[in-house]
Structure 1
C-alpha cells in the first residue's frame, strides 16, 4: 500500500520508518526549506533513527497526497487548520484516508483535531486518529507497545489497524472519538504538571496527580458527550508512563525546565492544550483544578511552587 507521511519531525519521521517496516511504500513530506527535511535528505537519518533508502523524501505536497491511499499527518496541532486550508485545495482527495497522528486541541477554540479537520476538509472526508503511548527511542530498540486508532467511521478504524498492526505496535479499536482525542491531548497537560512537580522537588505527588488528573478529565469528557471511562484507556492513562515519568517526554521535560528557569526549545503541545482546556472548562462549566493551576502558572505567571502546593492541599472533601 502507498503511504504518505506529512510532517518530518521526530514522530513523523518515525511513522515513515514504521510504515516501511510493515512493508508499505512510503513517501515522507516536509515543508520546503525545512531543516528536518534538509537533514534527512543529506543523511537519511536524524538524532533518533536512520531511514531506509526506500523511504522517498519530498517537499512536493501535491505529489505526496496524490500518490498515497493512506495519509498520516504529524505536525503541530496549532498549525493543523492553516495546513488543511492548503491540503483541501489539492486535486484527487476523494477516497483518501487521513490519519491525525498528533495530540492536542486547538488553543483558541478548544476544538478537537478531527473537528478542525472536518471543518476544513468537509464532512465527507475520511479521517481517523492514531494515539497512545510510545517513544521513538523505545520503538527503534524493538521495545513494543500498544496504541489505539479511532474514527467516526468503523471502516476507517479497521483499515488503519489492518494496515499498521505488527509485533512492535499492537493496535486497539477506539470506540469513543471524543474521549480518545481529549484524553490524548490532556495527557500532555498532566505531563507538564508532572515535570513541574519533578522540578520543584515534589515528585512523590505524581501519584496524586495521576489519580486526581484522571478524575477531573473524565468529567470534561462526559460533559462533552464522550465516555468518561475512555480516560482510563490507552489514549490517556495508558500513556502516563511515557509522559509523566519518561526522560524522553517533551512535555514533562518542559515542565521541569520551566520550574528551574531553563529555556526549552522543543515542541510541548501541552502548553496550548492548557489554554484550550481553560476555554472548555468555562464553556461546559466543569471545574478542572489541575488544568486551572497550570493556566495560572503558564498564562498568569503565578509562582509555581505555591500554586502546586495550594492545589494538592485544597479543602478537605470526599474523594469520590
Structure 2
C-alpha cells in the first residue's frame, strides 16, 4: 500500500526565532521549498533582503529556497507544517493559523514545554487548537539551532503515532547532516524535551554557585530519574527517555552555555536576579515556565519531582538558592531505583 504522506515538498514553518529558522535551513538543505512565517517584520525583511535572520540567528547564511513573510496565508500551500513558536504561546499560535493551513497538512510540533495554564503537553495543546483529526508528529532532541542551521551533524527524535507519517517526514527533512530517528512514542518524546530544560536550569545554578562537576552529574542523573517517573505516569516508553529526546537532550542542555536554560541557571547561581537576566535576553528559556507546569503535572499524577520543585521555588517563590540546595541534600536517604 502506498504511503499517503510520501511526497512532502513544500514545508511551512511557523515561527521565525532561532529554532524555526534552523529548521527552515534544514528543510532547504534537504531540497524542499520552504515558507517561513515570522511574527516580526524585521525578521522577515532580514531573511528576504540579506538571507540572514539578523535578530535571532545572526551570522548564519540562509538558502534562497527559504521565503519569509509575516502573512499567515503564505503557508496555505504547504503540505507539511512545522510549529516552532514558543511553548506557552503554541496553542494560541496554532489557533491563529487554523483557517490558513491546508486541512490535510500534517503538523510537526517543534516546541519543548508543558502548558502552564492547563498542564497539557504540546501535542494536546495543538490538537485542542487544530482538532483531534489533524495528523501530528513531535520533533525533539539534542539540537542547538545555530549548529543545525550551519549544517553541522545532528540527530533528532521524530515521534508519530502513524508510522507512515513519521517515515514521510523523515524523508522530507532528513539529510546528510540532519538525521531523524523514528518513534511512535509521542508522549515520551515530549516529556524529555520539557523536563530537560528545568534540569538544565538546576545544573546551571550548581555550576554558577561553584558546586563542581559532581553536583552537575548528580543533578543530571537524579533529574533523569524524575523524567523517567513522570514519563511512566504519562504512559510513555522508558526506552524513549534513554534516547535522543530524553538523555541525549539532557546531556547537551546541561553541559553547554549555548543552552538558554543552563546559562540562565548559571547566572542565577552567580547571584544575578531573574528579572535582570530576562530583561537583557531576546530569547526564551522555556524551563522558566515549564518548571511550575512540570511540578503541577507531577502533583496531578502523584509523581515526586524534588529537583523540578526546587527550581520552581527559586524561580517563582523567592526561595534562597543556598537554603534550597541544603534542603535537597537533607532529604531522607532512599533506594536509587
Contact 1:109 1:279 in 2 (8 A): no
Alignment partner, residue 131 of structure 1: 140
Partner SS, residue 124 of structure 2: helix
The answer to whether structure 1 residue 3 and structure 2 residue 17 are counterparts is no
Partner SS, residue 277 of structure 2: coil
Partner SS, residue 254 of structure 2: helix
Q: Is there any run of 5+ residues in structure 1 with no aligned partner, and where?
A: none
Alignment partner, residue 285 of structure 1: 302
User: Which runs of at least 4 in structure 1 moved beyond 6 Å after TM superposition?
Assistant: none
Alignment partner, residue 122 of structure 1: 131
Contact 2:292 2:309 in 1 (8 A): no
Aligned with residue 74 of structure 1, among 73, 84, 87 = 84
Cα RMSD after superposing both structures: 1.6
Query: How far has the Cα of 1:140 moved from its partner?
Result: 4.4
Partner SS, residue 284 of structure 2: coil
The answer to whether structure 1 residue 59 and structure 2 residue 70 are counterparts is yes
| Residues 226, 120 of structure 1: alpha-carbon distance in 2 compared, 3 angstrom cutoff | same
Distance 2:45 2:73 in 1: 19
Alignment partner, residue 22 of structure 2: 14
Distance 1:88 1:140 in 2: 28
Matches within 5 A, 1:20-169: 20-31=28-39, 33-45=40-52, 46=54, 47-64=58-75, 66-90=76-100, 93-169=102-178
Distance 2:120 2:151 in 1: 35
How many residue pairs align between the two structures? 317
After TM superposition, the score normalised by the length of structure 1 is 0.94
Distance 2:330 2:148 in 1: 39
After TM superposition, the score normalised by the length of structure 2 is 0.89
Distance 1:35 1:202 in 2: 42
Contact 1:243 1:252 in 2 (8 A): yes
Contact 1:4 1:71 in 2 (8 A): yes
CA offset digits 1:38-93 (Å, max 9, x no partner) = 433342213151112231111111222x1211111111011111112211233x62
